[in-house]
Structure 1
Amino acid sequence: MSRRDFIYTLSATGAALSLGACSADGGSAIRFGYIADYNGASLLAIADKQGLWKKHDLTVEPKVFVNGPVQIQALGTGNLDYGYIGPGALWQPASGKATIVAINTLAYADRVIARPGINSMRDLKGKKVGVPEGTSGEMVLNLALQQAGMTMKDISKVAMDAPTIVSAFASGQIDGAGIWYPLIDTIKEKVPKMKEVASTEDMHDHIFPTVFVSAAKGKAERDRKVMKVLQEANDWRAAHPKESIALTAKLLKADEAKVAADAAHVKTMTTAELVAKTKDGTVDKWLDGMSDVFVRTGQLKKSPDPSTFYAGDLYTKAAAR
């Protein structure tokens, strides 16, 4: 399976994760969105393998998406109950469109890449740069432009979805892109001499959390059960990193070595660590930092109190039960 195919996998695997049409308590299955990479898929793969949904009287109907903003839209229209989003889409819950029910990981997979011969952000001036709008690809592009003393006006931004960026970059239709691993590995196979001209790994002033979200007005008891599933899956992942990679690879029908390479850009934490960081305000600082980024880019008018969009109290209570 190629890296380009990595993001399309659920059409073939979703049925394998679905445990039935009804939950143990008689309700409908939870429709859970995810992106087909290690960050987005690992906890769902673990929860299914470990029987955690059944343990907590839930069933899940997984649905694949190519990015976070599309999942937020689906939450808003009632077509999705929960979803996974990366740091670039955090402005959407911060603007009241969703509620964060759990912090997942810290991710450092986003890059600005450029075709051979373009060696810096300054070299991208006036060039065509592809970006999936509202995602971490746009986020890293904005941050990199700021660091270089540039703005979006200095480039020719071309809005396109992530899979299209892979083909457009490979064929030379665009000169650069704001994009992420594992898709960058696919691009490297096609354009081996491409350059990474900016990286979130080098942006030490920022922390980039990935999260799970529900609709803005969630259901507290169901949220608590879902949080518990995610917490138990999270702790299994932290204790069994190699096995977690293997389970994710099996779910995605992807090469295990490639999933391991993807996971190398991810920092996982135990639930106890996430609870402690929620209680001491660390998570709020992460979310404040991201909101400040989105205020500068114009995606948010102001930086909101994290308590208005992160259900931290419910998360800590779920962990205590």
Structure 2
Amino acid sequence: MRRRIISLLAALAAVSATAAQANDKVIYAVTTSSITVGHAAQSSIPNGLGLWKEHGLDVEVIGLSGATAGIQQVASGQVDYATVGTDALMIARSKGIKVKAFYTYAQRPIYQVVALKGSGITTADDLKGKTIGVPDMSAGSVPFLRSILKRSNIDPDRDVKWLSVGLGAPAANALRQKAIDVWAAWDTAVAALENNGFEFVQVAPDWANEMPGNVLIAKEETITANPERAIMIARGVAEATIFGFANPEGSVRNHWKLYPSTAPQGEDSEKALKQSEHIFDARFDLMKLPPGVTKWGMNIDAKWKDLADATIEEGLLPKDFDVKSAYTNEYIDKINDFDAHKIEELAKKSAW
């Protein structure tokens, strides 16, 4: 009888252990199909260093095409956490989708509106009558630029032409052939074209570049049911961000190792590293804490309100939208409860 009880307890323990392991499995989505070195803080650094593993999480990072897909996958429960633009999140909230931001990943928008240097296009006021290229019409850069156009008294539906031109070589060809006058994409994509010799003028006005950038989201019920898991996901990103700032070169090399398709093939290694660091810096520059902010991931009320006002003006949000329903700072203190100096020292001593 005693042996049977012991065997039963052992079996229950095994079942419990298996359940715990299953509960620790997390799907995290980066909302791009190309996980570049610029996304290292959400992928290769926390997984390469084992930061998420130390926090008891087994995180699988996947790529999804666009914020809309990210929100849909989170809302349906196919993905646990994702990073998306703040405007897309607020629009989803206004439609009754109960997803919420709990960490601001990029303190400024990742989107850029660029024209070729020497084209004569230098400000948003110059865009009337122009053809605007975008990766596709579902890209987050579209509502970003529409708000800019509207505030510049340019009708985004009548005064400009929109053209989907993709990324990389197709976008480069569209610019070279003057099929488009400007390109509205995001930081890492623009940096990649700069690596190929393009010289750009940034067209987006200063006010647009001060809006909040990308955020980490989850379903409200996911956060409420397991706040500790959300905290540890975000803490891993915060720690990885500090590591990346302290050791960009090592972070790039580690990313190449974990994502071999992003590693340059048959190129001069020094040139390849320099170009990859340019893409890396394009995103990490947006992740720096703004003046007066001392905690990673802080959602800044004034920035969220400014963006909500612009999105309401564009007609994409109802006038009575409650912007504070879209985000929370409840977990920021716990997310930041780690030794940043230890992470910096780890980065300096890293053999990556």
After TM superposition, the score normalised by the length of structure 2 is: 0.69
Are the aligned partners of 1:127 and 1:155 in contact in 2 as well (CA < 8 Å)? yes
Q: Which residue of 2 aligns with 1:19?
A: none
| Alpha-carbon distance between aligned partners in 2 of 1:223 and 1:166, rounded to the nearest angstrom | 44
Q: Point out the more displaced range, 249-258 or 78-87.
A: 249-258
Asked if 1:305 is matched to 2:322, the reply is yes
Q: Which residue of 1 aligns with 2:294?
A: 273
| Alpha-carbon distance between aligned partners in 1 of 2:280 and 2:312, rounded to the nearest angstrom | 34
| Alpha-carbon distance between aligned partners in 1 of 2:19 and 2:63, rounded to the nearest angstrom | 21
Deviation at 1:191, TM superposition (A): 6.9
Deviation sequence 1:181-232 (CA, Å, 0-9, x none) = 2212333456735x425135x2278332321111353243534223223224
* Contiguous gaps of at least 5 residues in structure 1: 1-21
Asked if 1:105 is matched to 2:106, the reply is yes
Report matched runs for 1:132-143 at 5 Å. 132-133=136-137, 135-143=139-147
Are the aligned partners of 2:104 and 2:216 in contact in 1 as well (CA < 8 Å)? yes
Asked if 1:64 is matched to 2:68, the reply is no
| Alpha-carbon distance between aligned partners in 1 of 2:319 and 2:75, rounded to the nearest angstrom | 22
| Alpha-carbon distance between aligned partners in 2 of 1:108 and 1:317, rounded to the nearest angstrom | 25
What is the one-letter code of the residue matched to 1:144?
I
Are the aligned partners of 1:53 and 1:60 in contact in 2 as well (CA < 8 Å)? yes
2:182 corresponds to which of 168, 176, 184 = 176
Q: Quote the RMSD (CA, aligned, Å).
A: 3.5
What is the one-letter code of the residue matched to 2:61?
P
Pair 71,248 (structure 1): closer, same or farther in 2 beyond 3 Å: farther
Percent identical pairs in the alignment equals 16
Are the aligned partners of 2:295 and 2:332 in contact in 1 as well (CA < 8 Å)? no
2:191 corresponds to which of 185, 188, 197 = 185
Report matched runs for 1:89-104 at 5 Å. 89-95=88-94, 96-97=96-97, 98-104=99-105
Deviation at 1:161, TM superposition (A): 4.9
What is the one-letter code of the residue matched to 1:230?
A
What is the one-letter code of the residue matched to 2:101?
I
Deviation at 1:277, TM superposition (A): 5.0
Deviation at 1:159, TM superposition (A): 4.5
Are the aligned partners of 1:295 and 1:302 in contact in 2 as well (CA < 8 Å)? yes
Deviation at 1:318, TM superposition (A): 5.1
SS of the counterpart of 1:33?
Answer: strand
| Alpha-carbon distance between aligned partners in 2 of 1:25 and 1:294, rounded to the nearest angstrom | 42
Deviation at 1:32, TM superposition (A): 0.8
After TM superposition, the score normalised by the length of structure 1 is: 0.74
Pair 216,112 (structure 1): closer, same or farther in 2 beyond 3 Å: same
| Alpha-carbon distance between aligned partners in 2 of 1:72 and 1:305, rounded to the nearest angstrom | 19
SS of the counterpart of 1:57?
Answer: coil
Are the aligned partners of 1:209 and 1:286 in contact in 2 as well (CA < 8 Å)? no
| Alpha-carbon distance between aligned partners in 2 of 1:90 and 1:129, rounded to the nearest angstrom | 24
Are the aligned partners of 1:129 and 1:178 in contact in 2 as well (CA < 8 Å)? yes
Aligned length: 293
What is the one-letter code of the residue matched to 1:207?
M
Q: Which residue of 1 aligns with 2:28?
A: 32
Report matched runs for 1:161-240 at 5 Å. 161-162=166-167, 165-188=171-194, 192=198, 195-196=200-201, 198-199=203-204, 202-203=206-207, 206-238=210-242
Q: Which residue of 1 aligns with 2:6?
A: none
Pair 122,159 (structure 1): closer, same or farther in 2 beyond 3 Å: same
Q: Which residue of 1 aligns with 2:129?
A: 126
Pair 204,72 (structure 1): closer, same or farther in 2 beyond 3 Å: closer
* Contiguous gaps of at least 5 residues in structure 2: 1-17, 264-272, 339-352
Pair 223,133 (structure 1): closer, same or farther in 2 beyond 3 Å: farther
Q: Which residue of 2 aligns with 1:247?
A: 251
What is the one-letter code of the residue matched to 2:186?
W
What is the one-letter code of the residue matched to 1:62?
V
Are the aligned partners of 1:101 and 1:212 in contact in 2 as well (CA < 8 Å)? yes
Pair 148,289 (structure 1): closer, same or farther in 2 beyond 3 Å: closer
Deviation at 1:93, TM superposition (A): 4.8
Are the aligned partners of 1:169 and 1:175 in contact in 2 as well (CA < 8 Å)? yes
Q: Which residue of 2 aligns with 1:156?
A: 161
| Alpha-carbon distance between aligned partners in 2 of 1:166 and 1:216, rounded to the nearest angstrom | 40
Q: Point out the more displaced range, 135-144 or 206-215.
A: 135-144
| Alpha-carbon distance between aligned partners in 2 of 1:25 and 1:62, rounded to the nearest angstrom | 17
Pair 179,58 (structure 1): closer, same or farther in 2 beyond 3 Å: same
Are the aligned partners of 2:296 and 2:332 in contact in 1 as well (CA < 8 Å)? yes
Deviation at 1:312, TM superposition (A): 2.2
Deviation sequence 1:126-162 (CA, Å, 0-9, x none) = 3321234454422442243245331202101235655
Deviation at 1:289, TM superposition (A): 1.7
Deviation at 1:31, TM superposition (A): 1.3
Q: Which residue of 1 aligns with 2:282?
A: 262
| Alpha-carbon distance between aligned partners in 2 of 1:307 and 1:124, rounded to the nearest angstrom | 33
Q: Which residue of 2 aligns with 1:7?
A: none
